[in-house]
């Protein structure tokens, strides 16, 4: 009988866990957003801008891993609903910054953080050694995705 250290990892179990966490994150985000009459994407945008006060359209696109055209559509609807405002950069007029309006700030501060709050508390409950190992592995996987996906036509 092979020892535990000799056994192969169950890759299907790892994939199942990753898919479950992703799906659950989307489900919870959507439910929270619906409580406030916005979409999950709009909730993410609010919570990303809230701590930094403003982001350029390009920065926002990169953070939510979406094309500028997709983010433009989200921002158009949020601007129409009075949640954000576009402001041209004083330094470079080609750059458009997205800022929360007072309505957007109020909504952002009143909404529980999307699943990141839940996941953070779960991660904080891990022993330090496990958290450090998970950090190492996740950073390694993210780097590999960044390096391989764009060349396969899957990048943003």
Alpha carbon distances (Å) from 150 to 67, 153, 154: 13, 5, 5
* Amino acid 3: pLDDT: 53
Secondary-structure percent of the chain, ordered helix, strand, coil, rounded to 5: 65, 10, 25
* Amino acid 14: pLDDT: 93
59, 109 Cβ separation under 8 angstroms: no
pTM assigned to the model = 0.74
* Amino acid 4: pLDDT: 57
110, 33 Cβ separation under 8 angstroms: no
* Amino acid 156: pLDDT: 46
Q: Indicate the burial class of 88 (C-beta count within 10 angstroms; 0-12, 13-18, 19 or more).
A: exposed
Q: How far apart are CA 109 and CA 19, in angstroms?
A: 29
Place of tokens 């919870």: 28
Closest CA to 82 of 113, 57, 106: 106
The dihedrals phi and psi of 87, each to the nearest 5 degrees, come to -135, 130
* Amino acid 151: pLDDT: 54
Structural domains in the chain, sorted by start: 10-125 (1.10.10.10)
* Amino acid 112: pLDDT: 77
Q: Per residue of the chain (156 residues), what is the pLDDT tens digit?
A: 555 556 888 999 999 999 999 899 889 889 999 999 999 999 989 999 999 999 999 899 988 888 888 999 999 999 999 999 999 988 888 888 999 999 999 999 988 777 777 788 889 999 999 999 999 999 999 899 888 876 545 544
Q: How far apart are CA 32 and CA 14, in angstroms?
A: 27
Three-class DSSP category at 102: helix
How many C-beta atoms lie closer than 10 Å to residue 67's C-beta?
10
* Amino acid 150: pLDDT: 63
């Amino acid at each position: 009988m092979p020892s535990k250290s000799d056994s192969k990892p169950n890759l299907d179990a790892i994939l199942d866990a990753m898919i479950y966490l992703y799906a659950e994150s989307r489900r919870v985000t959507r439910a929270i957003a619906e409580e406030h009459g916005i979409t999950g994407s709009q909730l993410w945008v609010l919570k990303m801008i809230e701590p930094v006060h403003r982001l350029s359209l390009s920065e926002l696109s990169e953070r939510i891993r979406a094309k500028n055209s997709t983010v433009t559509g989200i921002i158009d609807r949020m601007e129409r609903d009075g949640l954000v405002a576009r402001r041209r950069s004083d330094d470079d007029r080609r750059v458009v910054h997205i800022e929360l309006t007072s309505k957007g700030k109020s909504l952002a501060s009143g909404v529980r953080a999307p699943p990141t709050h839940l996941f953070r508390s779960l991660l904080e409950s891990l022993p330090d050694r496990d958290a450090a190992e998970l950090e190492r592995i996740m950073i390694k996987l993210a780097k590999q995705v960044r390096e391989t996906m764009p060349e396969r036509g899957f990048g943003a």
